[in-house]
């Protein structure tokens, strides 16, 4: 088995977890790859081959992301592009998308034995249309359109074909997959969706109305987002994909959102289920940074 270790060394316990995982996996015959940017940190681990990140993803059978949910999101683009299965090991505080905690690495035996199942997580396709160019991206969690620091509030129009879905004033909008429903959308009042559902949701951020609620759309829906006015002159909005800011939107720009044919396969190595994670991770206080 060929495994690409994708770490986030900013996370507490990550380096220790990477070392244990490398030793454990190599002792059981696995070949380990890691991005060359980590060679200085792990040059003493003889079992690791260091190379360019996309080459690691191309050569491996499985990607193991070691960090938090942000680390798993970062690895998901490589997993999707190269059609590789993805396993998350949590060294962060929540780690909702992770299968294992950093102190459960003995369960990596299940990975080597093929004793696991996978969950298919669909993505969203997003097209950002500007006057002179367009950009297409895919996201696993969500796309967020929000006011910048200088913008007070904005008028949004959301359309499906020629039909107005929502016309509202708000601080912003969140469009999320079922995977992302337990992230920012949940904090903004959106519902929890089972991750294998073929749909996506739209949740407004601080809408200036008593009647605005989350809407859920079928997999064949395509939405267009436009902006009617900003309070103040020469204001703009921010667009953020899976936590990464892509730039700003002007009043003439359009954003098109639809469910993607692209997906990743998340490995469930422990045999838990989605609602167990909801109970254990969303219905209790967060772990302290020291844990």
What is the number of residues in the chain?
291
Please say whether the beta carbons of 8 and 66 come within 8 A. Answer: yes
Residue of 10, 23, 44, 69 marked active site: 69
Instruction: Judge whether 69 counts as a catalytic residue.
Output: yes
Catalytic residues: 69
């Amino acid at each position: 088995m060929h495994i690409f270790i994708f770490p986030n060394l900013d996370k507490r316990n990550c380096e220790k977890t990477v070392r244990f995982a490398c030793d454990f996996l190599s002792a059981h015959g696995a070949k380990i790859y890691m991005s060359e940017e980590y060679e200085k940190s792990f040059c003493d681990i003889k079992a690791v081959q260091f190379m360019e990140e996309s080459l690691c993803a191309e050569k491996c059978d499985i990607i193991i992301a070691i960090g938090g949910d942000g680390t798993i999101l970062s690895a998901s683009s490589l997993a999707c592009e190269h059609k590789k299965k993805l396993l998350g090991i949590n060294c962060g505080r929540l780690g909702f998308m992770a299968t294992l905690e950093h102190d459960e690495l003995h369960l990596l035996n299940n990975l080597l034995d093929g004793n696991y199942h996978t969950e298919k997580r669909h993505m969203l396709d997003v097209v950002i249309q500007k006057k002179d160019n367009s950009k297409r991206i895919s996201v696993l969690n969500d796309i967020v359109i929000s006011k910048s620091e200088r913008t007070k509030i904005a008028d949004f129009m959301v359309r499906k074909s020629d039909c107005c879905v929502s016309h509202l004033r708000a601080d912003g909008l969140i469009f999320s997959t079922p995977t992302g429903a337990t992230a920012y959308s949940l904090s903004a009042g959106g519902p929890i969706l089972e991750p294998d559902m073929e749909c996506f949701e739209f949740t407004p951020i601080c809408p200036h109305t008593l009647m605005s609620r989350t809407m859920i759309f079928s997999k064949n829906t395509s939405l267009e987002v436009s902006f009617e006015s900003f309070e103040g002159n020469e204001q703009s909005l921010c667009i953020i994909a899976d936590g990464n800011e892509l730039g700003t939107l002007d009043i003439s720009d359009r954003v098109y959102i639809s469910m993607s044919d692209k997906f990743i396969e998340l490995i469930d190595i422990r045999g838990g289920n989605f609602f167990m994670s909801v109970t254990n991770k969303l219905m209790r206080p967060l772990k302290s940074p020291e844990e």
